[in-house]
Structure 1
């Protein structure tokens, strides 16, 4: 083979190698695009299923909790549904920011401040429960992560108020039993007495502790007891903390800070 022919053959081989690499990259991109398309389709289908279930739960929960005699029922139900459905829609985007969650909570708190009646507490507690449930779903799908705590945020944590308003109401077996029972449904005084084994003044003492801490509410002077938004969040936080620390062996070594 003469030198010119060898040169031409090598040039052709070089071009073929380049074409092969280009084709390989094209196929990889095509496969990745195809895979992304499949994943996006699955995410969309999965979201549609979740959305249908969550929408039904929003409808049934609000219908069941808002008093049928309340003349603001339809207006409040529409506002609550819009808030919860807007929060739910964020899941489809694949990423939920802490700012958007804080914004939803702020809107709910603003609505609460403007509520005209004492019985509105029941409705807002239910909406807060549904919103927290959505946030739990976002965490489980790994589309939402809270901002990490900083030294500055720790400095602003008030010691006395934290103990009196949060830790003390929870630091008792019977009070924890009461909160767990009210987590799912309202309970009468008699039902709580049977559950805890406490009677009369002893049970009233613990109920008063929880009420003073804002953990539970009573429908009226002799009505059923129910968990408040604060109680719901506190109990959920304790459950998450126990899941992370209580049942696992956590290192006692100094924490490694970035």
Structure 2
């Protein structure tokens, strides 16, 4: 009789162990399903965000290029109007690339070659100032494309960066410092859902005037947010949103420990 009871206990222990393994397997499958679903949701949100702020961003880049070239080019030059038009046309075309999604290296090379072609037509020593300003604006646009992750230079001979290649000073100044402040983090979090005006951000953070402007400037300088020129409201960039995603993952792992 005792032997039968022992056999029964062994049977149920084995069954219980089998059930636990099945539950663990189902839990893992469900967890993977949620991760895939969350990733699809995030990608969908990013696509919607990109569509919503790409046009105002392109408008801002075009306006910025026109204003900067008009104000910074050499004034006492008979070629000024012709050159200003040529530079503005190139910069507005490259700004328009931002709204088209992914940009390949060959396309940007064509515009670099076009800029070089204009430079070869330089006639006076003063031309260097104008070309310098145009080149600066072009590189500013390229930097924004990288920040939005719609353009990436590829070189098969260069290995991908790893942790050992992290530059602490740059990481602190461009990522850690901008979000190491409660008000700035509140602003980024709010902007991840929709654009906000200066007044709305003031109400959200409790900051006024110059104090709010100081914190906004930190986010603007590090390309975490952009300001739409025609309305003056603020929108988050891909860099800002990616930073929030990274912080969310870190927070989630800390909570689990």
TM-score, normalising length: structure 1: 0.42
Which structure exhibits the higher relative contact order, with contacts defined as CA atoms closer than 8 Å and separated by 6 or more residues?
Answer: 2
